[in-house]
């Protein structure tokens, strides 16, 4: 697999300080530059920026989902693909920190092409995150 360039993603948060604490102390992301309305993080080697945006008044905006492998997967969502052992360590750490999972860590598509470990949870502003891992990284883009 070729060396991957870091991605950049900027997301809205309605509580900058609660989200700063979440990414820094729950996900253990190193904080970079910041201002009074945004904060950069090293998100597992990628650049994540949280930007303050007033909370939306649209009803059910945070409840959108699609069925995948018998679970309701929140959309939109973002995250990273981790090495298998790193995923297991993160899942244990998040459970110890009492993170409320939308979808508990489990093996999706077990025994099929694309088999993966996955978990979903939300940050304090309701942004959905998915972390996943493949035992065989060649399955990442398998059909």
3-state secondary structure of 4: coil
| Planar angle of CA 81, 93, 75, nearest 5 degrees | 45
**3 falls within a domain:** no
Angstrom distances, CA of residue 103 to CA of 68, 109, 124: 11, 14, 16
**59 falls within a domain:** no
**89 falls within a domain:** yes
**72 falls within a domain:** yes
Nearest Cα neighbor of 13 from 38, 33, 35 is 38
Number of structural domains in the chain: 1
For residue 39, what is the domain's CATH number?
3.10.180.10
Query: What's the pLDDT tens digit per position in 70-111?
Result: 889 988 999 999 999 999 999 999 999 999 999 999 999 998
- The more confident residue out of 142 and 41 is 41
Task: Kindly tell me if the per-residue pLDDT of 16 is higher than 80.
Answer: yes
**pTM for the complete prediction?**
0.89
């Amino acid at each position: 697999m070729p060396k991957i360039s870091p991605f950049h993603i900027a997301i809205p948060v309605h509580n900058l300080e609660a989200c700063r604490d979440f990414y820094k102390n729950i996900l253990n992301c190193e904080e970079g530059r910041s201002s009074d309305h945004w904060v950069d993080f090293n998100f597992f080697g990628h650049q994540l920026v949280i930007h303050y945006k007033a909370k939306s008044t649209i009803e059910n905006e945070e409840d959108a989902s699609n069925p995948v492998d018998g679970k309701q997967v929140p959309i939109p969502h973002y995250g990273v693909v981790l090495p298998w052992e790193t995923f297991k360590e993160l899942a244990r750490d998040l459970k110890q920190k009492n993170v409320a999972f939308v979808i508990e860590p489990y093996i999706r598509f077990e025994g099929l092409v694309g088999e993966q470990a996955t978990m979903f949870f939300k940050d304090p502003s309701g942004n959905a995150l998915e972390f996943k891992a493949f035992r065989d990284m060649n399955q990442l883009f398998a059909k």
